[in-house]
Amino acid sequence: MHSTSTDVAETHRPVSPPAGQWLPSTDAADLARIACLLRNVKPLEAIVDDVGDVLGEQDPPESEFREIAERLRGDLKRLVAIAHTAGDKDAQVCRLLQRAHTLRSEALPDDSRQALGHLRRTAGLVNDLLERLAETKSVREIA
């Protein structure tokens, strides 16, 4: 028995959902990838903790400067991404984003005193940007 073009079309016709039924626009592999990315996202409260590690009453130990600098760079990167994704065009946010770009490109100085100053500037900028993004409703308020 030979297949006609109608028979082939019938066997390869895509299955459509009933009218009004929602189908996801991504497949299981994409959803798994997105879930993995979300699990690795640092909570905003942890960013506040990073700021506190530097701007708290006691200076962080010099042995932790590099690790803290990397965390703060990551915090800035995340906040910049949030501002861009939210389409935040607030003038103050734009100025803070420019400062973030400049500060993220700077290396941590070798001199202990200069390194602490760099950490303080970075933590202050992270704090200012987070607060302003909360004010413009690009992120939720942080307690």
Out of 18-32, 58-72, 98-112, 124-138, least confident range: 18-32
- Determine the length of the chain: 143
pLDDT at 24: 62
On the CB side of 45, CA atoms within 13 Å amount to 1
The answer to whether 122 and 69 have CB atoms below 8 angstroms apart is: yes
* Closest CA relative to residue 132, chosen from 103, 98, 96: 96
Tokens read off for 2? 């030979």
Please tell me the least confidently modeled range out of 39-48, 52-61, 112-121: 39-48
Residue of 126 and 17 predicted with greater confidence = 126
HSE, CB side, 13 Å, CA atoms: give it for residue 61. 2
Average pLDDT, the chain: 83
**In angstroms, how far is CA 113 from the centroid of its own chain?**
30
Q: How confident is the model at residue 38 (pLDDT cuts 50, 70, 90)?
A: low
Inter-helix orientation angle 91-105/112-135, to 10°: 150
The string of pLDDT tens digits covering residues 84-136 is: 989 989 999 999 999 999 998 899 999 999 999 999 999 999 999 999 999 99
pLDDT at 7 over 60: no
**Would you state the structure tokens that stand for residue 76, as one six-digit string?**
């800035």
Sign of the Cα torsion 85, 77, 79, 104 reads negative
**CA count, 13 A, side-chain hemisphere, 89:** 1
